[in-house]
Amino acid sequence: MKLNPNVAEALNKQINNELHASYTYLAMSAYFEAEDLPGFASWFRGHSAEEETHAMRIFDFIAKRGGRIHLDGIAKPQTDYDSAVDVLEQALAQEQTVTAQINALFELANDEKEYSTQNMLSWFLDEQIEEEDLFSSILDKAKAASGDRWNLLLLDQELAKRGSEQEG
Ligand SMILES: [Fe+2]
Ligand SMILES: [Fe+2]
């Protein structure tokens, strides 16, 4: 069955949201490069790539269901941050925004009786639980290290090691 046009439009918007998240994490990676925190930088760069895979999951779904993919401009990300804690707070807020976006999509798919879209989105519901948990745990650590360069460098080393552990 061909993808419902309202759902197709909303999924297209979500491709843009995921790419904007990817671009924002890349800007955060660039900030950490400038701050000489290479572990944070590589961790955020890895996460930027992960968000791109999320966009492509939706891209592939729309294509398979015979929908039309419309790519839009990606909004400029914030490039300046006050501290590691500031970055992590904004990253967590962004993940919470994405969770709300996925919830709204799920509700629309339900209203339109788009069962296979709901099934596809259930992966994202699980993923957002992991994402919020992950970012809040790193935010907690960044807060604990806050104001102490040595502790921040230890956390940076931890994140450098964790760079390859990311999934999804
Ligand atoms: Fe995502
Ligand atoms: Fe995410």
- Domains of the chain (ranges plus CATH)? 5-165 (1.20.1260.10)
Return the SS3 of 81.
coil
Full 3-state SS string of 108-156: HHHHCCCHHHHHHHHHHHHHHHHHHHHHHHHHHHHHHHCCCHHHHHHHH
For residue 101, which ligand has an atom nearest its CA?
1
What number of CA atoms fall less than 13 Å from residue 8's CA on the CB side?
15
CA–centroid distance, residue 88 to ligand 2 (Å): 12
pLDDT at 60 over 80: yes
For residue 17, which ligand has an atom nearest its CA?
1
For residue 55, which ligand has an atom nearest its CA?
1
Record the tokens describing residue 37, joined without a space.
């925190």
Average pLDDT over residues 19-44: 98
| pLDDT in the model for residue 139 | 97
pTM score: 0.94
pLDDT at 166 over 60: no
| pLDDT in the model for residue 68 | 95
Res. 162 pLDDT band, cuts 50 70 90: confident
For residue 18, which ligand has an atom nearest its CA?
1
CA–centroid distance, residue 124 to ligand 1 (Å): 8
| pLDDT in the model for residue 121 | 98
